[in-house]
Amino acid sequence: MSMIRMSFGILLGVVSMGLAQNAWEVSSPQGNLTMSVNLVDRGGTADYPAGVRLYYSLQCKVGDKIVTVLNDSPLGMVRDDQAFVEGLAFVSASKLQKIEQAYTLPHGKKSQYSNTCNEQTIVFQNGRSAKMELIIRVFDNGAAFRYRFPEKDAAVHKLTQEATGYAIPKDARCWMMPYDAPTQYAPAYEVYYENDIAVGTPCPKEFGWAFPALFSVEQGKCWALLAEADMDRSYFGARLESAAPKGVYRIRMPEAEEGMGVGSVQPSSALPWQTPWRVVIVGALSTVVESTLITDLARPTEIKDISWVKPGRVSWSWWSDQDSPRNCESLKTFVDLAAEMGWEYTLVDANWTIMDKGTIHDLMRYAADKKVGVLLWYNSGGPHNRVTEMPRGMMDMSSVRRFEFERLKKWGVKGVKVDFFQSDKQESLAMYQGILADAADFQIMVNFHGCTIPRGWSRTWPNLISMEGVRGEESYIFDKVYPDKAPSYNTILAFTRNVIGPMDYTPVGFSNNRYPHKTSNAHELGLSVVFESGWLHFTDSVQSYRSQPDFVKAFLKAVPTTWDDTRLIDGMPGSHAVLARRKGGGWFVAGINGLDTPRTVTLDPAVLGKGVWKLDLITDGDGPKSFAHPDPRTLASGDKLTLSLGAYGGFVARLNPVSP
């Protein structure tokens, strides 16, 4: 459910126009963030091409200082029939409207969401009198804009270029992920982030930089995360060009080779037609991590009853035994594990259609007796991939998948994991959303793997529980450099990928796979809280979890997957991350160290509120494979607790309020 309130009128000091009506400013409700738009001829300098063009910039007030987050950055669009880049003229500007929203979601960083922004729409026309709208929203924690072609035309038009750019200040530092090269299994947003690099650093891959991209300006006085939101079925998933001349990163379209060449690089639509929001989350590092701007900007759901959407913990057999989905007896042990731990679900991965020693119906009956829900894996292909794992050919056509979803509902299946998309073209983005819409009609929850990144779809379709779009713990099976990369990479994910939506990293692997992990077991345990996902797929084996100390098993039985609040306590991408998440009146706090040297972190319970807390703590033990579990103690909001994290170490803590 959501509530939206709008108030209209020009607010003094929020919107201003130059004498020639070629300059506009929209500020946030509290005035700390301002987006400026200018229609100007820069005179053909080395940095700016000649001709009247649109530019925008972004300024943030930090204390008494104004920090430039984005310098003058280009705007504009080119269709196959019209160009909206050069020679634009101002037509009109709407009155400012203040938008206030409140809504709820069944999973995510919070349970109750609210936001306020100021919005203005500015209309321009080109030399042929065709119109383009620039819609601007400025929040206290970020800014967003989108283009809209308002005219009506039933003919289908193609977009040949989006001229949007982001002019990042030259002294900024960046955390950016190269975009995947198209392959049988990519793009899937599974490349490692480049850590703390200079603006304009050449991309190590030729296919550009992926969203989200994080940068800090003026030595961390202000942080910003670039992303996109409210992607409908009429556009592509964007990334940034590899090169950034003068620090200007421009929007780049998908590669023709993505999805086995299926689909057009250029999106198309009849008119009217609007783009996704181009989003810049702005503020302190905690503001970025805690932001819900991506779902705030997404379309509210039209699903009236979402009581059947139930996130939860999941046992998962594939990581420890890739053949297990074809063995009913092996899968039953993971049903038993879920029942023992109080986890809500078990996932049956690829090739369950050729199961031995029983059938999927035998497993369903067994799980039902244990009161464990079943989730089933599907191949998304389709001509867009040539991955052979089964079942395939049931998700790319609406009529076929609706038949399948109706059958799954009759079987009692609670959700599906749909894998292997390998494309950010319009056709692929439309397929994701078609799957979500059809699944919702049959009360089926969805998790995407081998996929794109979140763009707020969990608000539009709350049955989207999680998405991969990350290099997760399965990489211990096939990537020999992953153990060296993972500790630091995990800390970066908390400030980048997981900011924009749920992330199915499949964490908490205590045992070793093909390539042994270097993270401590306490680091692994901490990932269950540091990373947010509506389905928490525990990656390890039955034997591994059963062999853990009772206090670790108690934590694994208690850790939730839905949260009422989220706060960043401490951290720096590439170094460490400490997050607190509230469930009811209590807090779960976890920290991870991404470096190969020990470090200390300070837990100040005052940031969680006033009161006295019962602290139950699990930290690194004498070695990376062991835990320490001090006796529970009380901790007042005025106290501070210093914790030692080992190399690549971590901790978890539960803080429950003590009744007066």
Provide the annotated active-site residues. 419, 474
Helices (H), 370-425: 398-411
Answer for the pair 268, 157: CB distance below 8 angstroms, yes or no.
yes
Q: Tell me the three state secondary structure of residue 348.
A: strand
Burial track 418-456 (b if 16+ CB lie within 10 A, e otherwise): bbbbbbbbbbbbbbbbbbbbbbbebbbbbbbbbbbbbbb
Q: Tell me the three state secondary structure of residue 532.
A: coil
Crossing angle of the two packed helices 482-493 and 521-530, in degrees rounded to 10: 30
How far is residue 377's CA from residue 380's CA, in Å, rounded to a whole number?
10
Residues contacting residue 322 through CB under 8 Å, at least 6 positions apart: 477
Length reported for the chain: 660
How far is residue 589's CA from residue 656's CA, in Å, rounded to a whole number?
11
Q: How many CA atoms lie within 13 A of 336 on its CB side?
A: 11
Determine which helix (DSSP H) or strand (DSSP E) holds 156, and give its type and residue range. strand 142-162
- 87, with CB counted inside 10 A (0-12, 13-18, 19+), is middle
- 45, with CB counted inside 10 A (0-12, 13-18, 19+), is exposed
Q: How many CA atoms lie within 13 A of 577 on its CB side?
A: 30
Task: Extract the tokens encoding 403.
Answer: 């038949």
How far is residue 170's CA from residue 249's CA, in Å, rounded to a whole number?
12
What Rg, from alpha-carbon coordinates, does the chain have? Answer: 25
Which residue in 560, 615, 612 sits closest to 584, CA to CA? 560
Answer for the pair 502, 194: CB distance below 8 angstroms, yes or no.
no
How far is residue 35's CA from residue 145's CA, in Å, rounded to a whole number?
10
Task: Extract the tokens encoding 414.
Answer: 């609670």
